[in-house]
Amino acid sequence: MSGRFISLEGGEGVGKSTQVRRLAEALRARGIDVIETREPGGSAGAEAIRRLLLEGAGDRWTAPTEALLFAAARADHVARTIGPAVTAGKWVLSDRYLDSSIAYQGGADGLGEEAIRTLHGIGSGGYLPDRTLLLALPAGDAVARAAARDRDGADRIGGREDAYHARVADSFDRLAAAEPDRFRRIDAVGAPEAVTNRLIAAIADLL
């Protein structure tokens, strides 16, 4: 079987990390060799940059610096983890990828989509997933889930104000509308197993 690259996207609290694990289990049950990964992170170099990005005060980095750090982490992630795994015939499931940078730094921070895609072209050769699964929740549900998850304190990006995360959600919606061949919008309401079944249905044509 040929390798595939699937990204799971969405705002804070929509259940991406849980669903990456559950989807990986479902694919392994079908005999598929699966790699679970995340952004920022997923390789030794990218994990080092992750700590710089997510720890510290909310204003630790300017928006352009943050975008550059994400692009650098992604370049290492693609070169060291994603690319080799897909070439070897494995499926890679990533908790976030390029579209998060476009939604957060490009959209919510105002840097613009073109700037983020330019950095991605330089660092990662413009490499895109075979399918992007956008998990979506009503804003109130997402806030409640994120609060429950982050009882011990959100990271410096997740802890930003509600208006920021509303801009993120709007950016994701625009991306999904602009690239319907790559994106599938997934209702994240309901029991985890129900959401996983929706994810499997959304990639059935790739199996």
Predicted confidence (pLDDT) per residue in 55-94, tens digit: 877 778 899 999 999 999 999 999 999 999 999 999 999 9
Rounded Cα–Cα distance for residues 108 and 131 (Å):
23
Q: What pLDDT, on the 0 to 100 scale, is given for residue 161?
A: 76
- Which domains does the chain show, CATH number per domain? 4-206 (3.40.50.300)
95's CB contacts (< 8 A; 6+ apart) are: 8, 16, 17, 20, 36, 37, 38, 39
**Amino acid at residue number 192:** P
Confidence band, pLDDT 50/70/90 cuts, at residue 159:
low
Predicted confidence (pLDDT) per residue in 126-135, tens digit: 999 999 999 9
The answer for 18, left when phi > 0, alpha when psi is -120 to 50, beta otherwise, is alpha
Confidence band, pLDDT 50/70/90 cuts, at residue 16:
very high
Q: What is the token pair recorded at 48? A: 């080092």
